[in-house]
Amino acid sequence: MPADRTPLVDRLDGLLFFPVTPYAPDGTVDLDAFRTHVRARLDDGAAAVFAACGTGEYHALGLDEYEAVIAAAVEETAGAVPVVAGVGHGTALALDFLRRAERAGADGVLALPPYLVKPSQEGLLRHYGAIAAATRLEIIVYARDNAVIDPETVVQLAAIDNIVGLKDGIGDLDRMQRIVSAVRTARPGLPFRYFNGLPTAELTGLAYRGIGVTLYSSAVFCFAPDIALAFHRALNSGDDDTVNRLLDGFFRPLVELRAQGSGYAVSLVKAGVRLDGLDVGPVRPPLTEPAPEHVEQLAALVKHGRTLI
């Protein structure tokens, strides 16, 4: 990290934006639409841009496409908020993506789970340690799916200077509380950050707030930023009446709708962005488009959600 740059760990505060990656009719990445998407959400108050991550179909991007997406995010933000790039696959290919993220000017990295295999704790340490050793960028480790990280392993990861946070996509609050406690005990005063990384994180916002985890990524912010921001303000100000009203009337029904199709955590979000007026194209294989009736239900749900704020 350059000496004159504020550490990423000190810049992450507010609602975190995970943009979708738009595709043109010919199937190529539509960088103009991506810039429009990023600029609109910056104007709405995004606190950081996590580009080419899960919502951005990282898995479907080639190296050149990936670098172009990160570079476009960096150019659009112009330093106003940090840009964090997704990095995944196996260790060797992750390092290739990492070099592209560095070249594109990213401020940090979200280290996604390694591809396919179910590694041991030692294997996870080796994987994330290799990524950290290859860069000066700050790294947030994403625990989910096959990357289930034990508290003792997080303590060891936190001891690596440029690993600055953990995003939890597991949803085991007992484990998460033990992780927070273990790091706090082993490394008192360390500015290590925790993130709720579950799909539609708002649904579990109250539970995570209870153990001190208030940072989260909002997929809803992609297509209904007014609803996402209203919830975020209520959650962080203790306005639990508004939180519960939005949970009952919007977020719980959204999660139930999301559960109607495989891959809807991405494809339904992208449909929402199209409903909001920006043509971002379809998802790439192996994802598929949501059923038309589910898109209609999403439109009705967003309309209702806006009556609740």
Q: What confidence score (pLDDT) does residue 215 get? A: 97
**Which of 294, 306, 305 shows the shortest CA–CA distance to 248?**
305
Q: Can you give the pLDDT at residue 132?
A: 98
- Whole-model pTM: value is 0.96
Would residue 142 show up in a list of annotated catalytic residues for this protein?
yes
pLDDT surpasses 50 at 304: yes
pLDDT over 90 (residue 9): no
Q: Is 128 a catalytic residue?
A: no
Instruction: State what percent of residues in the chain have pLDDT above 90.
Output: 96
User: Which one of the listed residues 23, 58, 128, 167 is annotated catalytic?
Assistant: 167
pLDDT digits (tens, 9 = 90+) for 280-301: 999 999 999 999 999 999 999 9
Structural domains in the chain, CATH included, are 8-238 (3.20.20.70)
pLDDT at residue number 298: 98
The string of pLDDT tens digits covering residues 21-45 is 999 999 999 999 999 999 999 999 9
Q: What is the structure's pLDDT at 1? A: 46
pLDDT at 2 exceeding the cut of 60: no
Q: Are 30 and 280 in contact (CB under 8 A)?
A: yes
Q: What is the mean pLDDT of residues 236-251?
A: 98
Q: Give all strands of the β-sheet with 48-51 in edge-to-edge order.
A: 16-17, 48-51, 83-87, 108-111, 138-143, 163-168, 193-196, 215-216
Residue 223: pLDDT band (50, 70, 90) is very high
- Going by C-alpha positions, the residue among 225, 245, 222 that lies closest to residue 234 is 245
Separation between Cα atoms, residue 104 and residue 124, nearest integer Å: 26
Chain segment 73-108, per-residue pLDDT in tens: 999 999 999 999 999 999 999 999 999 999 999 999
Position 3 scores a pLDDT of 46
Runs of H (alpha helix) within the chain: 31-44, 63-77, 91-104, 121-133, 151-158, 173-186, 205-210, 225-237, 240-246, 252-258, 264-275, 292-307
Residues 6+ apart with CB under 8 A from 229: 15, 44, 45, 221
Q: Which of 142, 208, 216, 264 is catalytic?
A: 142
